Every structure is written in C-alpha cells, then in structure tokens.
Amino acid sequence: MSKFDARIPAGPISEKWTRFKQNMKLVNPANKRKHTIIVVGTGLAGAAAAASLAELGYNVKAFCIQDSARRAHSIAAQGGINAAKNYAGDGDSIYRLFYDTVKGGDYRAREANVYRLAETSVDIIDQCVAQGVPFAREYGGLLDNRSFGGAQLSRTFYARGQTGQQLLLGAYGALNKTINAGQVQMYARHEILDVVVIDGKARGIICRNLVTGEYERHSGSAVLLCTGGYGNVFYLSTNAKNSNVTAAWKAYKKGALFGNPCFTQIHPTCIPVSGDYQSKLTLMSESLRNDGRVWVPKKKEDCQKHPNQISEEDRDYFLERRYPSFGNLVPRDVASRNAKYVCDEGRGVGETGLAVYLDFADSIKRLGKHTIEERYGNLFEMYERITGENPYEVPMRIYPAVHYTMGGLWVDYSLMTTVPGLFALGEANFSDHGANRLGASALMQGLADGYFVAPYTVTDYIASNPLETINESHPAFDEAEKESSERIQKLLNIKGKKTVLEYHRELGKIMWDQVGMSRNKVGLEQAIKDIQALREDFWKNVYVPGEANTMNKSLEFANRVADFLELGELMARDALYREESCGGHFREEYQTEDGEALRNDEDYAYVSMWEYKGDHVEPDLHKESLVFENVKLTQRSYK
Amino acid sequence: MSHDNMTIHLRVWRQSGPNAKGNFEQYTLDTVNPHMSFLEMLDVLNERLTKEGQVPVEFDHDCREGICGSCGVVINGTAHGPQQRTASCQLHMRHYKDGDAITIEPWRAKAFPIVRDLVVDRTAFDRIQEAGGYVSVKTGSAPDAHAVPIGKEVADEAFDYAACIGCGACVAACPNASASLFTAAKISQLALLPQGQPERKRRVVAMVDQMKVEGFGDCSNHGECEAVCPKGISIAGIAKMRREYFKAILTGK
Amino acid sequence: MSQVSESKILKFYRSQTGRKFITGVTGIGLMGFLVVHLAGNLGFFIGGDAVNAYTAKLHSLGPLVLIVEIGLIAIVLFHAILGISIAQEKKRARPEGYALHVSGGAPSRMSPASKSMIWTGIVLLLFIVLHVWQFRFGPHYDTMLPGGVEPVRDMYKVVVDVFADPVWVAIYMGVMVLLGFHLRHGFWSAFQSIGAMSSRLSNTMYAAALVFAVLIALGFFVLPLYLHMVH
C-alpha cells in the first residue's frame, strides 16, 4: 500500500460525494475574502474554478499564457460533452455513465472519482444552458443528444462541431462577470515558472510576464493547476502550440507525485503529416467513422496509385475485416493501432506512406451527397482547406495523432496533489479516464472539476488548515525566483548551434517511435537512453535567440521543451514498468493471440505514482491500488 | 498538386516594442512548400533567422485550427489573407505561386497597440466582454436545462453569433477600426436567448459604451468585417445591436 | 413607465450607436426630401408656367414653408456635423494606417462610394449652400401666371438663366454624380444604422440602394443639360 492516501469518503459509492459535502468544513463568508486562491490556466477547469471560487467570496488570481483567457485549448474540442441526463429516455443513468467511463478507461481509473464525475455531469448541462451556451436543439425546443464512441446511449450534448468553444466561452463569461465585480484579478500573458512551497504547503507561484519578461511573485492559500495535458511532448499532436507541461512538471519537482504518465490517447482520425515543416496535427471528429469506411490497398504496389483507380477487390477494409461486429466504430485505441499495423506492413498511402483512406463513396451513394454534406459539411470543408483535396470525390487520408493525456498529477479524492494546498484539475490531473478516455468526456471532467468539485474541496482544505498570511518577500519566494531566473538566463547563455525546434522534433520522434502507439521493453529502454542523451546535448548546444526582458516566444518554447525533455523520460519509464497492455498503453509483449491488448489485473490494477528524487536520480514508484467494488472487470472485445 | 518548392518574397513589419518605431523588412524564402500553412511558412522564416543569429518574427498563434483566435495578420492588405472564412493559421501556401510577394502587417488600431512585430494587445476585447458579455448565473443555481425550451431556429441563430473567435480581424479590416461586429456578436447571441433577457438592456448599453472607451472607431457600415470574419458572422448583428441599444436607452431605467 | 430624461438623450447623442442612428434618420429624411424635390423638378420638362405655379403654390403655404426650411437646415446640419465627427473618430481609432488595404470581397459593402462618404458629403454640403444661394436667394423676376391676378416669382427664368452657362451645367452634373455615390452607400447604410436590417433584407436593400441612387442622381443630372439644350 502507498503511504499516500486518496482520502476517499466511506460509504456506498453513490453516497460518497454527498457525505463529503455534508461533512466538509466551511469557511465563514467574512473570512473567505482574506484568502487568495491562485488559479493557473483558464480553460474549462480553470475558468470554471476561478469564477466559482470568486462567487463564493474568495479573492482569486487567475493566470494564463495566452493573450486572453478565452484562448485556452479547451476551445478546440469539437464533438461534445457527456451527461447522464437521460433526456433521450434510453435508460441512461449516473451509474451507466460511471460504468461506461470506468470500462472505457480499461479499468485503470479510480471508481469514486469517476462516480462523482457522472453525478455532477447533470449539473454541468444545467449550468451551461443557464449561461446561454447555444447547444444543438430539436424543433420542439429541447436539447438534442447524439451517441459517441464507447457508449450505447445518446448522452452527448453538442454545439455543432464547436462544443469546446461554446462551453469555454460560457466559463469565460462567468470569469468575466467576476473580473468585472473585482473578485478575480486576471493575468494574461503570464507563465508560471515555479510553485512556492512553504512549511510543506503550496503557498504561491513565481511567474514570468511574457510581455516584459519580469518575474512576479503571487502568494495565496491554495494553488490550482488547471494547465491541461502534455501531448506536445510528442512535438506533433493535436494540442495547441503553446500547450505545455511546465506547471505540472514544476509541481512534480516540488513534491507532487505524477500519476500514470505513460497513458496517452492517440486519436485515429487526424489529417496526416505532409512534410517536415509540419507544426501541428488537426483532428477530424471521430463522428466521421459513422459513415466513412477505412481501407488501404491490399497490394503494396497499389499504394501510390490514385485511390479511385484501385478496384474494390484490391482494397482491404481492415477494420471491418478484423472486427466484424464493430467495424469502423471500434474504440480509438484499437482503430489507431490497426492503422499503424497496415502502414508498418508498407500498405500506407499518401506521400509519406503514413496514412489510410477514410472513404465516403459508399455513404454518398447510399444516402446522397446532401445528407453527407449536412452531417459533415464543415469537417469536409476543413479537410479541403488543409489538404486541398475534395473529400466528396477523393477519399480522405487519415492517420492517428497524439490527442490527450490521461496521465497527470496524482490527486486524491479532493483533487489535491501530494503537496497540501496544491490542486490539479481537468486534464492536468490523472484521475478520471484511466488508460483511455471516451469521446466527449474531457469537457465533462474539466467543468465538473472546476464548477462542482474544487469549490467544495478547496473550501474544506482552507477550513481544515491553519494558513497564516505569507509575505511575498519570504525566503522561499526569493529562492524560487532565483532558480527560475537563473534557468532562463542559462537557456539564453548557452548560445549553441541547434534550435529549440530541432530538439523538440528529435524528442518527438523518439517518443512517437518508442513511446507511441505500441511499445516494447527494448524500445523503451532505448528511448530512456536517447532522451537522456538528447537532454544533455540540449543544455550544451541549444541556441535561444533574443533577450529575457522582452516578449520572446523562442525563449518561452525553450523553457517548455526543457521540461518535455525530462517528462519524456518519465513517460518511457512508466511505460516500461507497466508490463501489461491497457487502453492507450499497448505493450507488444502483452497481447492476445489476435493481437489485442492483454490486461494484467492481478499485478497492474494500480495507479503508478512517481516521486521526484533529484535530477540525476531515478524517481521512486509508489502505487495506489485500484479497488473495483462497483464494476466487474472484463476483457474488452470488439470482435 | 505541385511538390515543387516555391520562392516567396516577404515584406514583414518589424517593431521591437510598443513604443519603438517599426519598419518593413524584406526576406526571401526559397523552400516554401505549397502544402505548408501560412504560419508554417513563418516558422520556416523564424528557423532561418534563428540559425543566422537574428531575432525571429514574433506572431501570436496557438491552436492552429482556426478556433482559438490567437493568430491574425494582415496579408497583402486583407485581414487573414485572401481565403474567406479562414483564419491565418488555416491559410495554405498553395494559394500562392512561385515568385509571389507577400506583405505582412499586424492588426492596426489604437485600441490594439502593437506589443512586438506582428503581436498586438487585444485586451480591449476582454474588457468589452467584462462589461456585460455574459449571463450572471451563480454556479450551481441553474434550473434544469429543459425548464425553458428554445426553438431550434433561435438556438441556431444564437449559435451563429456565438461562433465568434475574438481574433480581431473585424477591427483590423474595418476602415474605421470599429469593434462593432465583435461586440454585436455577443449582444445578439444573448439577446436571442431567453437566458439573456434579464440583463438584456444593461448589457447592450455597457458593452457599447465600453467600445468607445477603448478607442475603437464608429461603424460606417462598410461590411468589410463580415468579409474577413473567419466565422462569417453577419453584420445583421450590428443592426440588431443598434435596435437593442435604442430600446435600452428608450425604455431602460 | 419609463421617462426619457435629458441625460439619456445626451448619452444617446454621444454614443457611437446613437450617432449612427441620428445620421441614419436624418439621411432617410433627406432622401425623402430628394424624392419630393425631384418630383417638383418634373415641371421643368413641362414648361415655365408649371414651374412657377408649383413655386407659387409652395409659397402660398406661408409659415409652413419656413418651418420645413428650418427643419431641413437642422437635418442637414445634424447629418453633416455627425458625419464629420465620425470621420474624425476614424483617424483617431487608427493613427497608423496600412501599407496595403485590400477588401476581403463580397459580402463586404466597402466600395468607392462607402469610402468617399465624407468627401462626397462635404461637396454636397457646399453644393447645398451654393444651390440655395443661387435659387432660393437668387434674383427675383416677376411674371404672371395664366389667369393670375398677382405677379409671382419667375423661378423658371432664374433656373434657365443659370443653366445657360455651360460651366454651371457641368458643375451641377458633376455634383449629381457625387450625389449618386453618396446615395449608393447612404441609402443602405441609413437603414442598417437605424437597425432596420436583417440578414434576409440586407441584399435586397443593398440592391435597392443602387437603383435608388441611379434614379435620383439621373433625375437631377439630366435637368441642367435639358434646360441648356432647349434654350
């Protein structure tokens, strides 16, 4: 057993959250304004938490690296948000959403947290509608639902293909209301460089003003990291260019444990890489697989032919062939892995040979172009804008891409890391999605954590702990600022030969090849060595242009890549230790005869928790055993 | 599809800080691939400048999917460039041909001061939203989502306005540097929805007044904003905003 | 019941939206006047008596004419002052211009007409002063209407005299072209400014603006030429 306690309330799963709320300690309204709460990141989790905590009466400081709180990467989520409303009357319930999420996560998530997520999901929809979020509606005026991967019910609420945007703008509105009321101070274009820990508790942050380069100190009673995921460790991902791990990584180095770092979601339907200049990947909603058929040529020599010239009998609809019952609608991890296999066999298409076709010709024949246009018109347009090809006439080319990281800072039931007073919300924590996240669940988690969980658990923490006022001239701030500024200066002083981009690309290649869709012992061990060598070289030979006291995005990127170069190693290490295949983590040594993921519940039904021990020392592995009392563990099968 | 690299002649606005004097610098790139996005072409330029020991061109960008609203430059005189309903990040170099010259400028408006090179300060937009671009609903106090039905047509129209990404192209393209389309989009969205009714009058007056405080110009109905808006938001919203404003002034408290 | 207080009117007048509303309403008023004026001008194609009878009829309305005249002056002044102020605001809002400014294309309404509103407007303002000075306060000749008892002003002669000079004909015709430009954007813009526009109406009104501008401008355009030619 771990020495770290998840502090899950006692009682039946359906009563845990209610009991927590009933038993939590409260802060007197007059005292709330004496407490400053620092919220880092203004995505769904951050904006929702900042607004909700400010409404309660706390003094909130919110930080984001973008020029406006509205630009956080939650904005790019397309598909939708799940909620157990059962508006479709198809038998949905909190338990079913909970069950699907635990199962979809391949039984590597913590039951109590997931149940609470399902419970609060219903309140989220109410909240967002009240804010004026224009969800899709039926002619009768009621909310429309659709179904999404991994669920047999219609429980996904959506706003065209821009659900994330609409939800974020709702939260941004709530944040603006509190800013206008003077309850929140907003710091845009500010990047957190360190967490300040005093007497074992998180009491502040050091951040850098990205316009002037000045270092700033902010103290508070609690620090909430709502800083998203770390998919950009792969260089190419669907994440925004500025998404990074720095805040979480600094927290890790200050004593917060990192949970399940190797759990990465690779999304099957992305627009493939077209050349070395590629800077990021674009996701195409997974809803496309409802009507598109995935195939590659049977023969290698057909791969460079025009797809419309390849006859039906020369096409391999490999998902339909291998998974007759689910076909093109297998879960994300299965679809991604199979695309990789056929490309590894040399049957990939496109210039790079790293793509498979997603063909709508049959659907257009069956349903008519108009119907397809109505369903996917905006996606087809986006595809054409990027590739210059018309998917109504030529099959789309798609390839998997890194999309989401299920791993993150380990948190207890209160979403508090192992550093008291330091919380992690949304994608930044590890808690709800296990080894694989279901579609339309990320938005749900971000908002649940921000609106409905943190406001209670942060209050409970503040009420339960004596928190005397901390002066920002405290030596701990001096030290953290000194470390941060020295590192920035060091990056500028190396004046080597290679650019940050070159290092980032190299790291990405190691990660994608060895710590990507399928992993093995030899490759992972090699990856650890390669990353270490690359990191060492980085600190000797990187060239960062410009100065520290102006806007300097090259410097910002250098600082983030430096952290990715450390995180990558931890991910490889975590993947190496987890000798099983589960969800997005596929170890080639652990597969069934048919090549499917083989879980090992006996030995690996735990959350790996990594403890930082020093820059040149291997981290310690702790384990939180996962106990499943409410769902039965089964092997997933989509045959 | 051409695989040949193109040569592109760039004229880029360089300005080292808000108060510095700016000027155009010329650069020639001879390895521009037609499949590159416009911002990837700038990445190539910056990588070269870095290798040559020069300071790269600063420009805002983040999602590169046309939804975050971070990016935006004036390309040969048009905000976000020649392709409509497309943010700068989704514009691709296949729209140019070998030997083309491209002038790149930042958004220019008094309310959007230049931070550095092509980066401008758009916090004026945030302050307009802070003035009233929301429904005041406390967390956890909302009624059931089905308590108030909203017709599909109304919800769809509200969505059309809600799609604004806050990039600022409307201001950049407007001959008067007016923020009317941006402000009208939020006002129209919330005025259409039942949830927006209680604060309807207060909202429109506060937001319209804030536009002026920020130093944006008047709207003279050129409609250039709609043409460059990556989401194609209609200037019918501006007419709606005006109706809302008159009603609020005439009948408000 | 709510009261429209003085401060509210002032606030409205000072706000960007309020100012556009006033330019729109005054613009619509002036367009209405143009239609009436053009209709009145038709008399010139009939002959001197028709024109003089029409002016005499107008003058017989007494103080009502004065009220309308003062009203028109007020409308012109409001329209002009706000228009100039909006144009100045525009300079303040973008102190440093672009090296290049190219339209994004349809559905943009930006055109030579929309961009020159301030200049066509200033010319029209000066023209109105000139026009009123030349005709309203121009020379007074007496004439008798058929069957009339008292002499009336021979407005026809005043106008014909002016347009005997090809320079005046050219000036008037030139200004009417500018009026066409002003109306081409102004007609549509006025309705957009007062909020009387929806996405469905927009294209129709924009097309109607072109028709209106051409008809009005053409109507005024041909008269000086006609009078010059027939006399």
Which among C72, C111, C75 has a CA at the least distance from the CA of C189?
Answer: C111
Rounded-to-integer distance, Cα A41 and Cα A197, Å: 19
Task: Encode pLDDT of A25-81 as tens digits.
Answer: 999 999 999 999 999 999 999 999 999 999 999 999 999 999 999 999 999 998 899
Mean pLDDT in residue range B115-128: 98
Q: Is A332 a residue of the active site?
A: yes
CATH class of A475-625: mainly alpha
Looking at the partner chain, which of C16, C107, C188 has a beta carbon nearest the beta carbon of B211? C16
Q: Spell out the alpha helix ranges (H) of chain B.
A: 38-51, 123-130, 152-162, 169-173, 180-192, 200-213, 224-228, 236-251
Global pTM value: 0.97
Residues 526-545 of A with CB under 8 A from B: 543, 545
pLDDT of residue B64: 96
- From the CA of A418, how many Å to the nearest CA of chain B? 28
Going from N- to C-terminal start, the domains of chain C cover: 11-93+111-230
State the pLDDT at residue B79.
98
Q: How far is CA A123 from CA A7, A54, A120, B224, in A?
A: 24, 19, 5, 41
Query: B209 and B138 in one domain?
Result: yes
Three-state SS for A379-439 is HHHHHHHHHCCCCCCCCEEEEEEEEEECCEECCCCCCECCCCCEEECHHHECCCCCCCCCC
Poorest-pLDDT segment among A138-142, A158-162, A221-225, A541-545: A158-162
Backbone angles phi, psi at A119, to 5 degrees: -65, -45
Residue A581, token pair as written in the block:
């295949």
**Would you say residue A200 has pLDDT above 70?**
yes
pLDDT of C7 reads 82
B195 belongs to a structural domain = yes
Surface of A (551-590) touching B: CB under 8 A = 551-554
State the smallest CA–CA distance between residue B58 and chain A in angstroms. Answer: 7
Q: What distance lies between CA A577 and its chain's CA centroid? A: 22
For C164, other C-beta atoms within 10 Å of its C-beta total: 12
Number of domains in chain B: 2
Tell me the C-alpha distance between A377 and A370, whole Å.
Answer: 9
- Rounded to whole angstroms, the Cα distance separating C194 from B238 reads 10
Whether A87 and A77 have beta carbons less than 8 Å apart is answered as: no
Determine contact: A125 vs chain B, CB below 8 A: yes
Q: How many CB atoms lie within 10 A of CB A29?
A: 9
Using the 3D structure, point to which of B105, B135, B151 is the last residue of a domain. B105
In chain A, what residues touch B158 (CB-CB under 8 Å)? 132, 134
Indicate whether A582 pLDDT > 60.
yes
Q: Are the beta carbons of A109 and A433 closer than 8 angstroms?
A: yes
Same domain, B89 and B156: no
Closest CA to A209 of A230, A234, A188: A188
Count of Cβ atoms closer than 10 Å to residue A216 Cβ: 17
C-alpha span between A59 and A220 (Å, rounded) = 9
pLDDT tens profile A237-286? 999 999 999 999 999 999 999 999 999 999 999 999 988 899 999 998 88
C79 contacts: CB under 8 Å, gap ≥ 6: C22, C23, C26, C27, C30
What value, to the nearest 5°, has the Cα angle with vertex C150 and ends C148 and C156?
75
Whether residue C188 and residue B221 make contact (CB cut-off 8 A), yes or no, is yes
First to last CA, chain A: 37
Shortest distance between the Cα of B160 and any Cα of chain A, in A, equals: 9
Asked whether residue A308 carries a pLDDT value surpassing 50, the answer given is: yes
Enter the tokens of residue A306: 């025009």
Q: Is the peptide bond before B175 cis (omega within 30 degrees of 0)?
A: no
What are the two backbone dihedrals, phi and then psi, of residue B30, each rounded to the nearest 5 degrees? -115, 15
**Contact assignment for C194 to B224 by CB distance below 8 Å:** no
* Domain shared by B56 and B138, yes or no: no
CA C155/CA C194 separation, integer angstroms: 37
Position B115 in a domain: no
- Under a CB-based contact definition with an 8 Å cutoff, are residues B107 and B74 in contact? yes
pLDDT at residue C78 greater than cutoff 60: yes
CB atoms within 10 A of CB A464: 12
Q: Report pLDDT digits (tens) over C173-219.
A: 999 999 999 999 999 999 999 999 998 999 999 999 999 999 999 99
- Helices C117-131 and C63-93 pack at an angle, to 10 degrees, of 150
Residue B27, exposed/middle/buried by CB under 10 A (0-12, 13-18, 19+)?
Answer: middle
What is the share, in percent, of chain A residues with pLDDT greater than 70?
A: 99
Catalytic residue among A332, A337, A560, A587, which? A332
**Strand pairing report for B101-105 and B74-75:** antiparallel
Percent of chain B with pLDDT over 70: 98
pLDDT digits (tens, 9 = 90+) for A507-538: 999 999 999 999 999 999 999 999 999 999 99
For the segment B226-249, the average pLDDT, to the nearest whole number, is: 97
**What residues make up the domain containing B47?**
6-105
CATH class of A267-402: alpha beta
Domain extent listing, chain A: 267-402, 475-625
Chains B, A in contact: 3+ Cβ pairs under 8 A?
yes
- Residue A163 predicted with pLDDT over 50: yes
Selecting from A279, A282, A554 the residue whose C-beta is nearest the C-beta of B56 gives A554
pLDDT at residue B1 in the model: 43
Q: Does domain C11-93+111-230 fall into CATH 1.20.1300.10?
A: yes
- CB atoms B220 and C90 under 8 Å: yes
Q: Report the largest interatomic distance among the alpha carbons of chain C, rounded to a whole angstrom.
A: 69
Element (H, E) at C64: helix C63-93
- CA–CA separation, B219 vs B216, rounded Å? 9
Query: Which residues have C-beta within 8 Å of that of residue A55, sequence separation ≥ 6?
Result: A178, A183, B138, B139
Q: How is the beta sheet containing A606-611 ordered, strand by strand? A: A408-409, A258-259, A606-611, A620-625
Of A378-382, A629-633, B88-92, C54-58, which range is least confident? A378-382
The two structure tokens encoding residue A277? 């200049």
Q: In degrees, to the nearest 5, what angle opens at C-alpha A230 toward C-alphas A147 and A574?
A: 100
Q: Are B200 and B244 in contact (CB under 8 A)?
A: yes
ipTM of model: 0.98
Tell me if there are at least 3 CB pairs under 8 Å linking chains B and C: yes
Instruction: Kindly list the residues from chain B whose CB atom is less than 8 angstroms away from the CB atom of residue C185.
Output: 221
Q: Is A324 a residue whose pLDDT tops 60? A: yes
A137 closest CB neighbour out of B34, B121, B150? B150
Closest-CA distance, B186 to chain A, in angstroms, reads 10
**Residues A463, A466: Cα–Cα separation, whole Å:** 8
Going across the sheet that includes A201-209, the strands are A190-198, A201-209, A215-219
Contact C37, C68 (CB under 8 A): no
| Amino acid at site B93 | M
| pLDDT score of C4 more than 70 | no
pLDDT of residue A326: 84
Residue A348 backbone class (left: φ over 0; alpha: ψ -120 to 50; beta: rest) = beta
With CB atoms and an 8 Å threshold, state whether C100 touches B245.
no
Pairwise CB contact (< 8 Å): B68 & A66: yes
Please check whether residues B141 and B216 belong to one and the same domain: yes
Mark residue A415 as left, alpha or beta (left: phi above 0; alpha: psi -120 to 50; beta: remaining): left
**CA neighbor of A454 nearest in space, from A55, A109, A75:** A55
Of A48, A160, A280, the CB nearest to B64: A280
Q: Residue A527 carries which side chain, given as an amino acid letter? A: A
Whether B175 is covered by a domain: the verdict is: yes
Tell whether the torsion through CA atoms of C118, C123, C124 and C130 is positive or negative.
positive
Identify the CATH number of the domain in which residue B62 sits: 3.10.20.30
CB pair distance less than 8 Å for A160 and B136 = no
Residue that is last in its domain, among B43, B70, B105: B105
Residue among B108, B217, B221 whose CB faces C189 most closely: B221
Running DSSP on this structure, what letter comes out for residue A448? I
How much is the average pLDDT of B215-233? 97
Residues B50 and B93 in one domain: yes
Q: Residue A78: left if φ>0, alpha if ψ -120 to 50, beta else—which one?
A: alpha
